[in-house]
Structure 1
Amino acid sequence: MHPSLSVIRKRSDFVAANRGVRNAKPGFVLLTRPNEGHGKRYGITVTKKIGNAVVRNRMKRRFRELLWAALPEGGLPDHDHILIGREGGIERDFAAMAEELDAALARAAKGEGDRPRRPRHKRSPRA
């Protein structure tokens, strides 16, 4: 791990990052949000929709390597960077994902992002 990076572990930090800039790519979604001077931090999320534990852990290892390579130079200072795994991210070429991450970081640095997600509907109360 790179000494200037720290890991986000608290759920509240992940939830806060969801209100930041969103850049979707074929294998992942990158969320970036200022973090009030905590330095460059990263977090990884891969849901059960992606696959079983073996697949999810493999994807997390790939994401960790991508972030360790890209964030020291390309990461935004004093920002949280969250990578969310998407379907098909495990089969994607590692070099292609590295280029996509660099492109997503460049867009985030300019303040550009994809349109915000629609709010999820509240569940109806159970009878």
Structure 2
Amino acid sequence: MTSEMHTSEIEVARLRVRPQFLYVRHGKLERRKALVIQARPRRGEAPGHHIGAGFTATKKIGNAVIRNRAKRRLREAARVLLPQHGKAGWDYVFIARMETPEIGWARLLDDMESALISLAAD
């Protein structure tokens, strides 16, 4: 029973529409070799147990197969790290960089973790 889910666990919800991404764009920014993270507190909502997460990769990254791979890697890394290092009541947009599809998994996790910690520090 030690692996039982707690009701106080932070829920991560996906950002899906363009205005959500554009809102977060004007918040804080952290760049790393493997990714860029934008973060901003959600407007008009009291902080709760909810974090917003959006994922994007531009055509500069590569064709659709490569962009999808980059976004899948970002989603999985965020699934692991965002509940620990993200701030409740904030939205995050994860942007793939050229290195995202091929960089080592441990390096991707390190880059994301350090960026999330920096964003949470303020």
Q: Is the 8 A contact 2:10 2:83 kept in 1?
A: no
**What is the identity percentage for the equivalent residue pairs of Structure 1 and Structure 2?**
33
In the alignment, structure 1 residue 15 sits paired with structure 2 residue 15: no
2:70 — aligned with what?
A: 59
How much is the aligned-residue C-alpha RMSD, in angstroms? 1.5
> Given the alignment, which residue of 80, 85, 92 partners 1:69?
80
Residue in 2 aligned with 1:121? none
Which deviations, in whole Å up to 9, do the C-alpha atoms of 1:4-56 show, x marking residues without a partner? 11000110110111101000000110001001337201000101110001101
In 1, the alpha carbon distance for the partners of 2:38 and 2:78 equals: 13
- Within the candidate set 97, 100, 112, 1:101 is matched to 112
Residue 24 (structure 1) aligned with residue 34 (structure 2): no
How big is the shift at 1:3? 7.3
Misfit runs of 4+, over 6 Å: none
Q: In structure 2, list runs of 5 or more residues that go unmatched.
A: 1-8
3-state SS of 1:49 partner? coil
TM-score (norm 1): 0.81
**Paired residues, number:** 110
2:40 is aligned to 33
